[in-house]
């Protein structure tokens, strides 16, 4: 399935008001992991109120011990501080990387903004070295924009 086709599915999931926000986020995780071969772990992290830490939200993939990530720690923690996309073609080249699994080779993290404030992010791990392109980045920005519409 192409990114354009996936966008339509994401919109449909977002607009399904009979499901909770978490159910819709999990459905998006499942959609992306199922239809993009090199997306091996897909999940959301959200700011924990006024604390400078992220809390794991819905995800699909291997279980992780990283349910709380301090701002600045790892790729997700760095995105919480920088408010910028972070594409990591080779996780072994990152000093501040939190290893979730020895099979992970690359990671991409895109922030989610509500009213200009970074409230969370989508985090994707890949077992394929250097798989993420500008098209992935643009697609995930679209996903994050859609998700921002259902967050309070």
Give per-10-residue mean pLDDT for the chain (152 aa). Answer: 97 95 98 98 97 98 93 95 96 73 91 97 97 98 98 86
pLDDT of residue 96: 65
Burial of 17: CB neighbours in 10 Å, binned 0-12, 13-18, 19+: exposed
Q: Is residue 14 part of a domain?
A: no
Nearest to 123 by CA among 53, 39, 47, 49: 39
Q: Is residue 60 part of a domain?
A: yes
Q: Is residue 2 part of a domain?
A: no
Q: Is residue 11 part of a domain?
A: no
Prediction pTM value: 0.95
pLDDT of residue 99: 64
pLDDT of residue 100: 66
Q: Is residue 125 part of a domain?
A: yes
| DSSP states of 61-121 | SS--S-SEEETTSHHHHHHHHH-S-EEES-GGG-TT---S-TT--EEEEEEEEETTEEEEE
Nearest to 144 by CA among 43, 74, 49, 34: 43
pLDDT of residue 102: 79
Q: Is residue 12 part of a domain?
A: no
> d(Cα 72, Cα 70) in Å, to the nearest integer?
6
Q: Is residue 16 part of a domain?
A: no
3-state secondary structure of 124: strand
- The count of structural domains within the chain is 1
pLDDT of residue 93: 83
CATH of the domain at 120: 3.30.450.40
Q: Is residue 9 part of a domain?
A: no
Write out the residue range of the structural domain in which residue 43 sits: 21-148
pLDDT of residue 97: 66
Beta-carbon contacts of 65 under 8 Å, excluding residues fewer than 6 positions away, are 100
């Amino acid at each position: 399935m192409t990114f354009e086709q996936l966008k339509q599915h994401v919109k449909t999931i977002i607009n399904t008001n009979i499901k909770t926000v978490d159910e819709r986020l999990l459905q998006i995780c499942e959609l992306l992991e199922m239809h993009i071969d090199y997306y091996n772990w897909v999940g959301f992290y959200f700011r924990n109120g006024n604390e400078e830490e992220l809390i794991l939200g819905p995800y699909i993939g291997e279980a992780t011990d990283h349910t709380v990530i301090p701002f600045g720690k790892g790729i997700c923690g760095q995105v919480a501080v920088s408010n910028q996309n972070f594409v990591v073609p080779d996780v072994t080249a990152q000093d501040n990387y939190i290893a979730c699994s020895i099979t992970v080779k690359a990671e991409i993290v895109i922030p989610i903004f509500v009213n200009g404030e970074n409230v969370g992010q989508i985090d994707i791990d890949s077992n394929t070295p250097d798989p993420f392109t500008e098209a992935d980045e643009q697609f995930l920005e679209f996903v994050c924009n859609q998700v921002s519409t259902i967050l309070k």
